Amino acid sequence: MAKVMTSGGEALIKALADENVDIIFGYPGGAALHIYDAIYQQDRVQHILVRHEQAATHAADGFARATGKPGVCLVTSGPGATNAITGIATAYMDSIPLVVISGQVPNHLIGTDAFQETDMMGISRPIVKHSFLVQKPEEIPVIVKKAFHIATSGRPGPVVIDVPKNLTDPNEKFEYKFPSDLYLRSFALYNEAENSEVKKAVKLLTEAERPVIYAGGGAINSNAAEEIYEFGKLMGCPVTNTLMGLGVYPASDEQFVGMLGMHGTYEANMVMHEADLIMAIGARFDDRITNNPNKFGLQAKKIHIDSDPSSIDKIIDVDVAMTGNAKKVISQINKELKAMNFDNKKFDPWMKKAMQWRADHGLNHNMLDQKNPGDIILPQQVIQSAYKATDGKAFVTSDVGQHQMFAAQYYHFNEPRKWINSGGLGTMGFGLPAAMGVKFAFPDETVACITGEGSIQMCIQELSTCGQYGLPIKIINLNNRALGMVKQWQDMQYGGRYSSISYEDSLPDFIKLAESYGHVGMKVEKLSELQAAMEECFALKDKLVFLDVYVDPDEHVYPMLKAGGDMSEMYLSKTEKTFE
Amino acid sequence: MNHIALLMENQPGALSRVIGLFSQRGYNIDSLSVAPTQDETLSRLTMTIGEEGADINQVLKQLYKLVDVVMVQNLNEADALTLELAIIKLNKTKAEVEGLLKNYEFEREILDEKDNYTVFKALGDTQEIENLLSELKKEEFLEVTRSGTLGMTKGNESLATNDQTKISYD
Ligand SMILES: Cc1ncc(C[n+]2csc(CCOP(=O)(O)OP(=O)(O)O)c2C)c(N)n1
Ligand SMILES: [Mg+2]
């Protein structure tokens, strides 16, 4: 084969193409200009120009969450790099594979406080899985290959490649060689679990009386939905998902007791509290799940499957630990259960009990049909309405706040990768750019962004990007004229002293705002008009619609776990709670 | 005290990742020594971590997760030798220092005496060095510099590696 000569900038883009990347999100600037020139001169990799680097990272992140493939973004040095930080941290906290390429000042200026110099390696260090500072242009293809491998393998995460400008010089060419193999020293990956551990787990599972399956984001990352469904059916016991795991087990299945944790359903939290066996799959016993870890699952034996050995025994000590890929480990367990013809009938009373809890205090699914005299819209009704209008089939991204919790509770996800939210970092501003990433990945699918008037303003500039690329996203704004989640805490813990949570008089007219970007804006204030508006919004297939829904500003998210309590200690409404 | 031996890639930023991990996760490093090995692509570290706060297994797992970290070993759990060097200066004559040290077991050597100040080295177990220092704290003048603990397992067990994981693509 003839030698291919490339500059560093060309090598970088060519290596991305050779990694099968066809889309990257970015924003140009001085240190990245050689790279942008290389982008201009090829057509294998499409570059999407966002309006803020934070949006580039969230868009790449949304793309990754929806597809399971790594998301890629490109930013310049200094302010470009620092603007990307929030998005990198967001991906890091949720274990999302990202490759972030940042321009850097030329080698000889590093350390001199040069114009737009930031120590990107240093500033990103605690929020990346790994990072590379390119030292020679020839090593770019190998670094790209390593970066993708590291970002996507084991427990995924973001990887930064910092590229000094002089190493992308178009005048300095070298031979381009994309490696076919990689060598990484002692890079441990875990796949299957030890057979002895599988046996131990199966023994605990089959000897239990009140087991529960608790699956999180790691189960989605390892594409284990099918295996977990089969496992659920073999066990015939309650299944719950974390905020990050929604969709990995179908919400419409009768064994599904909803989300658990801080704003989990009553039945899911009760099941966790009363269980005698907790089977955690790709979930990390985060403090939003366990509530007080010292009071967590005291009656239960615990089995934990995770691809990251450091997640095991970190918060909660477990009886059986299986470091491995959830998909493979669950298959191993399923095989054992099938081989022994396990009869799960004995869990029926336990399952019945879960259903009784649901009947007692489960989510109110008749809410949408309620006629209230003032015609006021409850936020939950907006989610129910969106669910109805989309047949539960949309990709739903969200921001952070009450609207996010209502979406998680009331939009029932039957498939993984459809619910896309920042669970770990809780980044307001994530929803819209993430929806762009999803829409680029799935142009023919319905993509909705469920947001609040606070969050949407954190990346509202992306309405312009949506205009440029014609992205018909549906933005459902649960407008409660306040930073609702903060207000809720101030109601519940600060005697209703509303410190800095409102901006009612200065909210933009979202309809005009959307229109000024060339989109459609719609406003709904009455419950009686909600469903029709929602149907119309989703029917406008090739338009971005900003649906501004005025909702009850006083509604709280319930259930809510009592701070410092166990999982059975919940507020159920403004007047009811399960504890003294 | 926990002694950890670690082999890592001799790459820019590798050491700051290891150290950063400690501050990020709220662990404390009592001592740290680092130098290249006979293989110039690898550096070797020995770290001492206090008993308080840190769950040592978590520390080991978090360290091993770093891509630049090739091997980690808990020397406390292995059959290992540990050793620390201290260089100490006191406002005393050589004879006075020799008197002070006579009850200690560790290896020592007077390195210099000038203007009534004596510099000596002490080479021994970290605990012995600690004991000496707490005794010397009573002295009016004391300057000390320590290597941090160094450690190695006995017998055929070794941290050295040349294992490369080959990752092939079709
Ligand atoms: C970037 C960022 N800043 C602050 C917060 C803290 N915070 C969490 S929820 C919330 C209120 C969000 O308001 P809005 O988007 O209107 O949603 P609502 O709760 O009203 O539905 C705030 C300020 C955050 N999560 N992210
Ligand atoms: Mg709001």
Contact B70, B14 (CB under 8 A): no
How many CB atoms lie under 10 A from the CB of residue A477? 25
- At residue B26 the predicted structure's pLDDT band, cuts being 50, 70 and 90, is confident
Residues of B in contact with A182 (CB under 8 A): 166-167, 169
Q: What is the largest CA-CA distance in chain A?
A: 78
Contact A240, A257 (CB under 8 A): yes
Sheet harboring A256-259: ordered strands across? A256-259, A239-241, A211-215, A277-281, A301-306, A320-323
Q: Is the pLDDT score of B104 beyond 60?
A: yes
Q: Is the CB of A454 under 6 A from ligand 1?
A: yes
Atom of ligand 1 nearest to the CA of A379: 21
Q: Is the pLDDT score of A189 beyond 80?
A: no
The helix (H) or strand (E) run that includes residue A155 is: none
Whether B24 sits inside 8 A of A126 (CB atoms) is yes
Whether A184 sits inside 8 A of B165 (CB atoms) is yes
- A182 vs A565, which has greater pLDDT? A565
For residue A556, which ligand has an atom nearest its CA? 1
Closest CA to A374 of A530, A556, A527, A477: A527
Question: How many angstroms separate the CA atoms of B160 and B170, rounded?
Answer: 31
Closest CA to A258 of A245, A281, A241, A277: A241
Close Cβ partners of A112 (under 8 Å, ≥ 6 residues apart): none
Distance from the Cα of residue B108 to its chain's centroid: 18
Q: Is the CB of A553 under 6 A from ligand 1?
A: no
Whether B161 sits inside 8 A of A185 (CB atoms) is yes
CA distance A146 to chain B (A): 10
Contact B68, B20 (CB under 8 A): no
Contact B140, B91 (CB under 8 A): yes
Q: Is the pLDDT score of A347 beyond 80?
A: yes
CA distance A309 to chain B (A): 7
Q: Is A310 on the interface with B (CB under 8 A)?
A: yes
Q: What angle do CA A372, A374, A380 make, to 5 degrees?
A: 55
Looking at every residue in chain A, the average pLDDT score rounds to: 96
Closest CA to B76 of B130, B3, B142, B27: B3
Q: Is the pLDDT score of A484 beyond 90?
A: yes
pTM score, whole prediction: 0.95
Distance from the Cα of residue A571 to its chain's centroid: 26
Question: How many angstroms separate the CA atoms of A193 and A199, rounded?
Answer: 10
Q: Is the pLDDT score of B165 beyond 60?
A: no
User: What is the Å distance from ligand 1's center to A429 Cα?
Assistant: 9
Q: What is the predicted pLDDT for the residue at A188?
A: 65
Mean pLDDT (whole number) for B115-131: 93
- At residue B12 the predicted structure's pLDDT band, cuts being 50, 70 and 90, is confident
ipTM of the modeled complex: 0.88
- At residue A357 the predicted structure's pLDDT band, cuts being 50, 70 and 90, is very high
Q: What is the predicted pLDDT for the residue at B170?
A: 40
Mean pLDDT (whole number) for A48-70: 98
- In terms of Cβ atoms closer than 10 Å to its own Cβ (0-12, 13-18, 19+), residue B152 is middle
Atom of ligand 1 nearest to the CA of A404: 21
- At residue B161 the predicted structure's pLDDT band, cuts being 50, 70 and 90, is low
Contact A452, A478 (CB under 8 A): yes
Q: Is the pLDDT score of B169 beyond 60?
A: no
Closest CA to A285 of A321, A251, A257, A261: A261
Whether A186 sits inside 8 A of B17 (CB atoms) is no
Contact A525, A377 (CB under 8 A): yes
In tens, the pLDDT along B46-100 reads 999 877 666 888 888 899 889 999 889 889 888 899 999 999 999 999 999 999 9
